[in-house]
Amino acid sequence: MEELNRMPLIGDKAPEFEAVTTQGNIKFPSDFQGKWVILFSHPADFTPVCTTEFMTFGSMIDEFKALNVQLVGLSVDSLYAHIAWLRKIQKLEWKDKKNINVTFPLIEDIRMEVAKKYGMIQPNQSNTQAVRAVFVIDPKGVIRTILYYPLSTGRNFDEIKRIILALQKADKDNVATPADWRPGDDVIIPTASSCGTAKERMENKSADTYCLDWFMCFKKEKK
């Protein structure tokens, strides 16, 4: 039971593995060094919720590529089931999505070895299907975000993309992003670490920053 429930934590190095995928063999995460990676699992091929998710991820491939993000999917089904399912997806139409060609790797994990490494098998949900997990891994191979969805609930892809944008913004400018942040919104600068800095910030009349209180200061972003 402990083995099934074990999962890496935010700040951990992403567990390494080798796998067969629909795009050939991969060594993870070393094959994607220098890129952000979204590693996500789904319960099974040929299921309705998963199909809508893959159609959505497939339709957003170029958006993620523009952010230096590599998508990597996982299911405990076989490689041949994956291929058949992805071919079927190309023939489906849902909302504004049709002719979707899924070109990112989909991992075969029949023995559930990778799923167990990442805590994707959760017995109170299922012993034979992986829950909907999302791991955001940075270019250094460090896990930065973990999301878990139940088997019945499809993921919010706008939020997944927003997380990538927020992490990239935080890393680039040494800031934090407030609730519901979107690109172009004001960001939070690091909290003052001394009384002197706190006083200076509250007295600062800069056009670029403003404080609600000494511990909560924002930097204005250009719209």
Question: Has 50 been annotated as catalytic?
Answer: yes
Write the CA distances from 178 to 104, 146, 166, 218, integer angstroms. Answer: 31, 18, 10, 9
- What residue has token string 């056009």? 207
Write the CA distances from 142 to 33, 34, 223, integer angstroms. Answer: 10, 11, 31
Query: One of 50, 195, 211, 217 is an active-site residue; which one?
Result: 50
List of residues 6+ apart from 189 with CB closer than 8 A = 175, 209, 217, 218, 219
Cα distance between residue 81 and residue 57, in whole Å: 19
Write the CA distances from 13 to 51, 123, 216, integer angstroms. Answer: 30, 25, 31
Work out the burial of residue 143: count CB atoms within 10 Å of its CB; fewer than 13 is exposed, 13-18 middle, 19 or more buried.
buried
Indicate which residues carry an active-site annotation. 50
